[in-house]
Chains A and B, each alone.
Chain A
Amino acid sequence: MTRRSSKPYEYEVDADPFVVCGIDAEWTYESAGRNLILSYQFAVINANSGKMSKLIILPKNGARIELEHGLSRALLKARKRKVIDKVPNKFVIAGHFTRADLTTFENFGWFKRRIGAVRKTFATTMMPLRLRLAASEGPVKCSCLIVDTVLLAPAGTSLETIGKLLGMLKIELPPGYTKDRMDLFLRDHPKLFKKYAVTDAVIAAKWVTKTYGLLLERLGIGKKVITLGGAAVELVRRQAKSKGIDLNKFLGQEKPKQSYAHLAPLIAIAAQAYHGGYNIAAALGFSPAGKELKDLDIRSAYSTALSLIRVPDWAGARHCIALKQLAVVEEAMTAGLVEFRFPDGTRFPCLPVRASNKRGLVYPLEGSSWCTGPELAVAIGMGAIIDVKDGYRVEWIAGSIRLFEDITRLVGEIRAEAKALDPPDLVLDKTVKEIGNSVYGKIAQSVAGMRVIKDDVERRSVFNTMFGESDQLGPSGITNAFMATYCTGLVRALLLEAISRLPQGTWVGTATTDGFLSSCGLEGIDQSGPVAMAFAAARERITPGDRTIWETKHLIPRALVTKTRGTFTVAPADWNGASVVLAKAGYMTPEAALALSEIEQCRVWIELYRKRQFATKMQSKSLTSLRTQHLFEVDLQSVVRDVRWNADFDLKRKLARVRDVDGLITAETVPWRSIDEFEQARDLLEDWKRSQRRVLKTKQDYEDMLAWGAAKGNRSKTGTRAHNKLAPIAAAVLKVLAHRNSGISEWFKLESYAQKAQLMSAICGVKITEMDVKNAKRRGTGPAELAGSIATLTDDDRRFLMSWFGFYSIAPEVCDIAEMLCARGSAATEELDELFDDAANAARDAVADESLNLCIPQNDDEILEQTTLGH
């Protein structure tokens, strides 16, 4: 297993076998930040001989041991069991989520700065951990590589799944015992506890042994990488070498991580045009009944997009503002800054514009966009008018190879072989698949951080364990802004090209990076567009004879779309589909529903969505952060927090044909005219939710939000707030009256604050105190600034004006005051005449009935009485 580049020197010590020591610990909660350690487990595997020894240490009263002590004892036992001949000078320490286990050792504080942090766990990133272990021959200085199986397995794979892939079943806890009370399990079933506990260490050790073995045997990667992403980088390096390509020249750099100087301005454009995937909810609420929905996915989207890349001609890379030169799919890598306008009625514009406040990408009908060549090609196909401001074009070297195509093909071949084995080699299949998918991630690593015009996209940071602070994640060994931009743009373009060409009347629910949910099946996808043609050709090169781009992932009867990445399957009770769409928009399924099937979980989610309020909270389970563990040397504990459930539509597209279906808001969407329109709508939604403490659940909610938004300008000009008891125009009138020293007619003497308060109380139907009048005079703008402050009227404003105009016959000045307050030519001014007529008619009717007795009320009871009559 251990590789040497040359034969050993004369009298050199014998090479160590490849030894992996799996570690694990079991504990129970003791106090905040401190766990009671129940056991330490070790599994030593000699990969050369395949022998293994296990050790479990049960500390007395939770007394912690040092890492060296545990390892010394594990290796001592391994020697006595003839697993190893001597304590190796180099070996691997493997664990599943090492952050949980390494912190349980007594001397964590001593070695915490000598291990690195990767993706929220600990692993060796630079120097190996140097330990002095005990052996009967004397102390042995060892170099230990710390490896976490979380990093060496596909993202999100649990230890249980890893065990299954290895053919090892994780021992289930007997009924009545839980992971957070392992002390009870140890007390009641000590033998079973030991068996249960040591299995985790064995799985970790075996996975690392097997993965490194496969990497060496199947991909020729001898380096002990700590992540599968690292293996992807090594794979690219190796493939480039085997094809006779200088990787630095291929990536356009003088030396690793230093690009050619003349590319610097072009990298700036590439980084600006680098965006994530196309993620959008194109509808809200229930999908049409009776239309079966298909969730279609692009096959190996990013791997295939990468495979279009040939060897770039970096010497010929140049600025370019000719649209024809930029709007290409596979001729060259291009990107640029453009101003665009799509024809009215375009359903799915395809040029991205980044919104503020982490609101993601929005696709308006017009605006300014940093975009890529394939997106421009699709935009031209949609009839967009495009004005290029700046851009670049990087040609391919004529006749050059496609490096990533070879890698994708190699990955595909290995996977096919692994699956064909009897039994299938699932470890190989999953590992190689993850490596293949990681190539794109490594190419795009930290490209967002290269942007000259900084935006609000969060840079990924890593915790520097040596200095105890956060650093920005740097580029990988194969980071390339041009290639990353090209790939993401190509996948977005392919997705949008397909969606925009769907047959008329197709319901589109959501689109997420490389797939979309719609009522259209594979047969309805138009693949005659320029991007689809290029992609299909790439697919055929990878899998000869097969040009298929799209595949059906899910088939469901109906869906409820709540927001981007928030979709639930709606199905009758007797439906027994193969798989369901269950996208929870980042929230955890409630614990009570975890045991249910996916379709049952969907029903739970829909019911929760139906019942939700502004204050509805979801549980969020998180763990003690790596930073906290490192800085304060505390143990890993789970922290349960309640977070407000934001399930409201994100308004990335404008709602149209809003209606209620089954009691929930349902609508189609159209693109926004501009990014500003989107930002305003989104600001309105957020302000409305926060101030009114409401959610967008029904059509009424939506209309209320729009009305609230319409009155927002009035409120700001009149200095009122949404929760104030007076409507904006009423507040403005009160201010006018407060500043007046003379009455508005001989009937209304407004000499004292009390009189003014009484008048307003009578009109508004709410109690206005003397203090309110004083405050109206004292605070905010004066009457001069209030002129023209009301642009639109709300229902409250209309109600007030009806009452206010009712005084016209005895105080004609009320009309002048109302006209003065409404902005000239505004919708509010236009409504005044109509309201005046309505008020006059109402007054006539009232007089006819002899039921209205207008007089200034003298006490609270009279105010209420008059209010009732007035309305």
Chain B
Amino acid sequence: MANELEFEELAPGKYSGTVERVRYIFTTVTQIVITYKLSTPTGVRRVEEKLLISAPPASVSYFHTTQGLGRVEDILRIKGLTLADADGLKSLPRLLEGTAVTALTRNERTGGFNCPTVIRIEKP
């Protein structure tokens, strides 16, 4: 029973890996969900982040789209591309998926657990 409830923490640090999957959540705003597949000393770990990428310019969420756009730009930069090279949201999954990255992670206290969170994406 105790084993089942053991939460797999990830020590803060730099981990190399790839962008495994890019998906969207469409509501009145659009969020991008990026899944990283990271190699860690304990094995392969997946870390997911959900960031705003598009929102109506008049909405309060518009400001937060910089987070999603910034992250996408970081990953594209690794491949030598810019946001201008992307042809809308539809092209992003194809451009981002498979990109080798180095993820800097930290822990965020959530629900009493230390949850891994990506804070920066760098060149491998």
Contact = CB atoms under 8 A, between A and B. Distances in A.
Interface residues of A, number: 29
A68 B46 CA distance: 21
A12 B117 contact: no
Given A12-B24, A65-B112, A138-B115, A76 B47 contact: no
B47 A138 contact: yes
A627 interface: no
B108 to A, nearest CB: 6
Nearest to B116: A138
Contact of A81 (B4, B48, B110): B4
Contact of B113 (A77, A89, A134): A134
Contact of A73 (B5, B10, B48): B5
A842 to B, nearest CB: 94
Contacts, number: 80
Main secondary structure of the interface of B (DSSP, over half): strand
Nearest to A14: B23
A139 B93 contact: no
A816 interface: no
Interface in B1-52: 4-5, 7-8, 10, 22-26, 33, 35, 45-50
B33 A135 contact: no
Given A9-B24, A12-B24, A139 B110 contact: yes
Nearest to A65: B112
B112 to A, nearest CB: 4
B57 interface: no
Contact of B111 (A71, A77, A137): A71
Contact of A11 (B23, B47, B48): B23
A135 B24 contact: no
B111 A134 contact: yes
A132 interface: yes
Contacts of A80: 4
A691 interface: no
A133 B4 contact: no
A814 B71 CA distance: 110
A625 to B, nearest CB: 30
Interface in A39-85: 55, 65-66, 68-69, 71-73, 76-77, 80-81
B48 A138 contact: yes
A139 B115 CA distance: 6
A255 interface: no
B32 to A, nearest CB: 9
B112 A134 contact: yes
B111 A69 contact: yes
Given A77-B4, A137-B35, A137-B46, A13 B115 contact: no
A598 to B, nearest CB: 46
Given A132-B110, A138-B47, A76 B7 contact: yes
Contact of A136 (B5, B8, B108): B8
Nearest to A9: B26
Interface in A121-141: 131-139, 141
Contact of B110 (A10, A12, A68, A77): A68
A55 B116 CA distance: 24
Contacts of B22: 11
B110 A133 contact: yes
Contacts of B111: 66, 68-69, 71-72, 131-134
Nearest to A73: B5
A76 B35 CA distance: 19
Interface string B78-122: 000000000001100100000000000000101111011110000
The 5 tightest CB contacts between A and B, nearest first, are: A68-B111, A134-B113, A69-B112, A72-B111, A137-B48
7 contacts: A12-B25, A13-B23, A72-B112, A137-B116, A138-B116, A138-B117, A139-B115
